Every structure is written in structure tokens, then in C-alpha cells.
Amino acid sequence: MAEALRLEGLTVRYGDHTAVADVSLEMEAGTIGCLLGPSGCGKTTALRTIAGFERPDAGRVLLQGREVAGPAASIPPEHRRVGMVFQDLALFPHLSVADNIAFGLPRGAARRRERVDELLALVGLPGAGPRYPHHLSGGQQQRVAIARALAPEPAILLLDEPFSSLDVALREQLPRELRGILQAAGITALLVTHDQTEAFAMADRVGVMSGGALCQWDTPYNLYHRPATPFVADFVGLGVRLPGTVLAHGKVETELGLLEGAVPSDCPMGRQVDVLVRPDDIILDPDGQGTAQVEERVFRGADYLYTLRLPGGSRLLSLAPSHNAYAVGTRVTVRPDLDHLVLFPRDGGPACAVEEAPEDPD
Ligand SMILES: Nc1ncnc2c1ncn2[C@@H]1O[C@H](COP(=O)(O)OP(=O)(O)OP(=O)(O)O)[C@@H](O)[C@H]1O
């Protein structure tokens, strides 16, 4: 498949501060990518550099194989064929929906009206052309902003926190809808968000950023099941890291007992590691004889998230269906059910590669 975007060693500094540090990634045409990370990690700066609003201090940006920023070129934003949707949507309040969408199209273009109608149909708002932005709901306004950005047929659509101004219900629903719209039209898109649920619902590939660096650029499934660094493991999904010692291939001793299965072959015996334990890896049994204790319980609708305290002081998380509720203080037996082990060496040495993790079903 054709390459839509490539970043090579992209570095952007504001004075002494490195906002984007040596970021490299590639996106294929027609796919959706996402930069995910906490506030200040550099994701907006990376997006703005792709759009042409910031200049790289090192590295290159290539769009459809053409260098648009780097040692060989500095193409201005309007000539990059990039569509941008901003956090606040930035619709023109005094223009109708049709005129908002047509804004980026050449005046007098024969297909102008036709293109607006096409885009309104694409975003599920047929017939909304004569209305004004303030007549529309937040979700509808967002679709108009997307239609406007798509009007000039950009090579890539960049979206900066596109759901942050919407209410909670829309934030659940819109990422999936938007993914459907972009996929139907074969659009390449890159969004930035700090919200993992949005990233996972929207994107084929997600890049987790921290301190300007890209920690891992991978499928959502692999980020969860094969996190490359402790930061990715902590940022994506819930879980704890339990100290352990590698005993032999296939066994790690922890406070939970011997965890078995798929210890990476490059993890030497005796090595001190942290084992990633997700809430879905822990089954709890409230038998009254157990040595673990419920320390906290959080209702999450379909399930409760329990924090469990082991006798040695380590804590675990566990998810259990919400039709049974175990009170704080209940003694429970904890049964680990890990089908592969993700290990991070405690000495900070290179991570042990995760083998035999389940394959990404997609
Ligand atoms: N124009 C600027 N001048 C100086 N420093 C800046 C500028 N823009 C961003 N920064 C700094 O660069 C770092 C990265 O900012 P950036 O906005 O890219 O992060 P972000 O991950 O998008 O955060 P947020 O989610 O809060 O927008 C931050 O430390 C920020 O304070």
C-alpha cells in the first residue's frame, strides 16, 4: 500500500525545551493513526509540524513520499494538502453549513455545490447546507468541521483533540462514527488525544508519547498486550507491576506464587523483574479463607474494579461482574490467569521480548 506520511527523526525545540524528540513513524494511505499521551508530551507540536505551523529542528516530514519539511524543503501549510480539524472546531458562525464547507474550495469551481452535497452526505448531514452552525448539535458541528477539512481533498486529515469539546455520550459514540466515515472515504487521518478510549476506537495504529519521544507505534491490541516499556504498560489500560524473580524458563516467582508460561528466552535466571498484571488476569474467589483482602471497590457498570492487598503488601487489580459485590475488607483467594508474561527488568536493562503473546486478531 502507498505511504501517506513518514516522520524521520523529527525533533522540534522551543528554546532549550525539546517538545518532540527524534520521532519516526510511517502511515499507509487510507489508515487512521493516533498520537496518544499525557498533557505536554509533544503530540500537538508533532501534529502542527506535519501541518507546517512549526518547523523541525532536525529530521524530516514526508507526505505521500514528498519531503515537506526538513533539510531539503519547507513547504508552507497551504501547499501541503493537509486538512486540519481543531479542538474548538473553528466553524464560521456567520456562514451557513454549505458555505463553511465550501470555504476551502476554489471560488467559482463548477463542482462546488456538488462537492458540498457529496460531503454532507458523507458525514451524514444531507440537506443541512442552509442551516447555521448554532442550529446544530456539538456532534453535528464536528461533522461539518470534518466535511470542511475534507472539501479540498487533502492527502491527510489531521485532528487535534477532536472530541474534547463534546459531552460524554458523544465522546463514546463519535469516534466510532468518524472512523466509519473516514474508512468509507478511504481518508488517511492522524489525530492526537490524551484519551485511550478514543484512540483505541478510532485508530489502526497508535503512538504512545512521553516527554517528546515516541515510546511505541503499534496496533491498539499490541500496545495493551505487548507494551514495549513500563510507561506504555502504565498509560495504556489498567494494571500493576508485581516484583518477581525469573527462576527458569517458563517460571517467575512472585508474591502471587509461581507464574508460569512463556517467559521470554532472553530473560536470564535470577533476574529481578516486574511482571505486568492486568485486572483481567486476576480471578478472585471470596472464600473467607483467602489471604488477600479487598481494599477498594469501584463500580463501573458491567463490573466492579477491585483493589486487592496481598499479605506481603503488594496490590493487584481485578475486574469482576457487578452482580456480585464483595465488601471492602472481604478475604479473597486470588487466582492468576495470565496467558503470557510481560516482564520489565528491574535493573532498567533491555526489556525481555514478549513471546507467545496472543496474535492481534485484526
Ligand atoms: N509555542 C510554544 N512555546 C514554548 N513552549 C511550547 C510551545 N508550545 C508547546 N510548548 C511546550 O512544548 C511541550 C509540548 O507541548 P504540546 O502542546 O505539543 O503537548 P501536548 O502533548 O499536545 O499537550 P496538551 O495535550 O496539553 O496539548 C510542552 O512542554 C509545552 O509547554
- Written in H, E and C, the secondary structure of 97-165 is HHHHHHCCCCCCCCCHHHHHHHHHHHCCCCCCCCCCHHHCCHHHHHHHHHHHHHCCCCCEEEEECCCCC
Ligand 1 pocket check for 43: Cβ under 6 Å? yes
Angstrom distance (rounded) from CA 147 to CA 83: 10
Residues with Cβ < 8 Å from 182, sequence gap 6 or more?
32, 157, 189
Superfamily of domain 3-230: P-loop containing nucleotide triphosphate hydrolases (3.40.50.300)
Q: Which of 39, 41, 45 to mutate to test the pocket of ligand 1 (most atoms within 8 A of CB)?
A: 45
* Nearest alpha carbon, ligand 1 atom 31: 40
How many whole angstroms from 161 Cα to the centroid of ligand 1? 14
Give the burial class of 102: count Cβ atoms within 10 A of its Cβ; 0-12 exposed, 13-18 middle, 19 or more buried.
buried
Domain spans in the chain, listed from the N-terminal domain onward: 3-230, 242-345
CA distance 6 to 22: 13
> In whole angstroms, what is the distance from residue 157 CA to residue 222 CA?
24
How far is 214 from 234, CA to CA, in rounded Å?
15
pLDDT, tens digit only, all 362 positions of the chain:
799 999 999 999 999 999 999 999 999 999 999 999 999 999 999 999 999 999 999 999 999 999 999 988 889 998 999 999 887 777 898 999 998 999 878 776 667 888 899 899 888 888 888 899 998 888 888 889 999 999 888 999 999 988 877 777 777 778 888 898 899 889 999 999 999 999 999 999 999 999 999 999 999 999 998 898 999 999 998 999 999 998 876 688 999 888 876 666 667 788 899 999 999 999 998 887 888 999 999 999 889 999 999 998 899 999 999 888 899 999 999 999 887 788 888 887 656 655 555 566 66
Instruction: Give 35 Cα–ligand 1 centroid separation in angstroms.
Output: 14
* CA distance to 90, 192, 246, 277, per residue, from 241 (Å): 43, 27, 15, 6
- ipTM of predicted complex: 0.96
CA of 43 to the centre of ligand 1 (A): 8
DSSP states along 273-301: EEEEE-GGGEEEE--SS-SEEEEEEEE-S
Q: Which of 10, 20, 35, 41 has most ligand 1 atoms within 8 Å of CB, for mutation?
A: 41
The finding on whether 210 has its CB within 6 A of some atom of ligand 1 is: no
Q: How far, in Å, from the CA of 125 to the mean position of ligand 1?
A: 35
Q: How many CB atoms lie within 10 A of CB 137?
A: 11
Nearest CA to ligand 1 atom 4: 14
Nearest protein Cα to ligand 1, atom 26: 39
Cα 177–179–181 angle (5° rounding)? 70
State if residue 40 touches ligand 1 by the CB under 6 angstroms criterion.
yes
Q: Domain 242-345 is of which CATH architecture?
A: Beta Barrel (2.40)
- Residue 258 DSSP label: E
